[in-house]
Amino acid sequence: MDIKIKNVKELFSLVKEAGYLVAFTGAGVSTLSGIRDFRGRDGLNNDMDAEKIFDINYFETDPSFYYNRTRSFIYNLDEKEASIVHTVLARLEQRGFLKALITQNIDLLHQKGGSKNVIEIHGSPETHYCLRCAGIRVSYKDAAAVVLRGEMPKCPECGRVLKPAITFYGESLPAQALRRAVIESQQADLMLVLGTSLTVYPAASMPEYTLRNGGKIVIINNMPTPLDDRSYLHFDDLGSVFEELNSCLLNE
């Protein structure tokens, strides 16, 4: 038997036997859907200053910088399809194996793939709001329609450019999502760490909570992470592993 297939079968056994399985996902999950990550070989940082795009101080000074550069990868999400990773995670949840999914991603593809219990630890573009006027909320669909016309969504009360509810550099993570993520990570006896280099804190500390509470982690990522030597299993090819996991699910 091919060693990779053998190890995926071991992974599937771990998944089925876990008392409390949690997944933690990063940008590498969505590269399979054609969305570029930040630090990978073809990442956004190679040809644009991604940290500047998502800097709250720069946004307040010049929000057009954010909207002009994210039009093609945040506001065209209707054109993106959930990958095999998104759909298999949803299937694991439906089967009762996966209890919670913590994601650093801001592309809404886990929901599109069918997952329900999604904790968006870096916020979400699902809502856009005014930094000045309380209670002003605009949906992703309405904001995207404006952005795709080459304009920016504005507050109907004061005319200020709306900000997406994505956590920018210089902002705190959404408190409720962070609390939920920590609780789920502490409960997990098995965490799947998928498509993340584990370099952005505090989000990257989630697997550490699992380890500190005696749980196992499985890392699937095409770049090294600081926790590779503490992972119970490790794989490089996310797509291939999830194709095999999908076969295991279908053949069970």
**Any idea which residues carry the catalytic annotation?**
122
| Residues 110, 142: Cα–Cα separation, whole Å | 20
The secondary structure element, H or E, covering residue 99 is strand 98-103
Structure-block tokens of residue 17: 């036997």
Alpha-carbon separation of residue 103 from 59, 62, 217 (angstroms)? 23, 28, 16
Closest-CA residue to 12 (of 239, 228, 192)? 192
Q: State the residue for tokens 């590269």.
A: 31
Closest-CA residue to 219 (of 234, 205, 209)? 234
Instruction: For residue 167, count CB atoms less than 10 angstroms from its CB and return exposed for 0-12, middle for 13-18, buried for 19 or more.
Output: buried
